[in-house]
Amino acid sequence: MSTALLFPGQGSQTPEMRAQVAQVRPDLLELAVAVVGSDPFLRVDEGTAFAQPAIFCASVAGWTAMGSPTPEFAAGHSLGEIGALVAAGALSERDGLELVALRGRLMQRCGETEGDGGMIALLGAEAAQRAEEVAGPHGLSVANDNSPQQVVLSGPRSALEAAERFAKELGLRAMILPVTGAFHSPMMQPAVPEFEQALAGVEFRSSSTTVISAVTAQPFDDVRARLAQALTRPVRWREVMLELHARGVERFVEVGPGRVLTGLAKRTLKDVELVNV
């Protein structure tokens, strides 16, 4: 039975994750404080600049608690891709943390400076099927294709209420999310150049692990290009799960805080083993 390690993205934070990192990886907690400039765990609710490095550290600590295995397969949701690359041995922990911290700062700054960006979740049996039908007429983009029953759209905040009404007319449930930007949409483009510059200075090593990109739903090819594209392109998580399953993965281990990815896997795949670390 093939196993894949799954690394969560933003929104997976839990109250106890700081204590777990302090117990398992006190060195990583100390490094996070130095890289971020303050304790990110104490400021998780202040935005992506703090939530992203905190979740990354919690995920790496979870992987450490497992014995730091080199998996056959791995994947990450949004910022979780960087954790997956660390577990694969393709990226050092320090470089991963520095990239995540920069990514979080750039996304937060972009959300604050690029006007009224926002996100709306579509829920229901036909969410994935009808997402484009809601997005297109309202100038929105698919940001997260999470499962057949959950898709998140991103774009101008001024369009969200009309999109919410239209989605409900189609029989979907819709919920405007309390976020500060239109993440995973073209509105994040101003964050890309500086992130590309940082990626150019980072060493990525070859790895025996097959890491599936959430941008392409295929194994990473050009890692730097895909990580930069992930800022403005959708997270194709439903397709990532289907691709892993097609490659023979029958056991999925969520490494990190929360159980978000475990829940999405239940809605996407049948007859697989799901484990949460």
CA 274 to chain centre: 19
Q: Would you name the residues annotated as active-site residues?
A: 78, 184
3-class state of residue 115 by DSSP: coil
Q: Which sign, positive or negative, has the C-alpha torsion 104, 24, 249, 276?
A: negative
Q: Report in angstroms the alpha-carbon separations of 23 from 4, 20, 117.
A: 25, 5, 38
In whole angstroms, give the CA distance from residue 189 to residue 123.
Answer: 27
In whole angstroms, give the CA distance from residue 108 to residue 52.
Answer: 10
In the chain, how long is the greatest CA-to-CA distance?
52
Closest to 62 (Cα-Cα) out of 49, 74, 47, 50: 74
Where does the chain have alpha helices with state H?
17-24, 26-36, 48-65, 80-87, 93-113, 127-135, 160-169, 192-200, 223-229, 237-246, 260-268
In whole angstroms, give the CA distance from residue 106 to residue 103.
Answer: 5
DSSP letters, 39-96, are -GGGGGGG-HHHHHHHHHHHHHHHHHHTT----SEEEESTTHHHHHHHHTTSS-HHHH
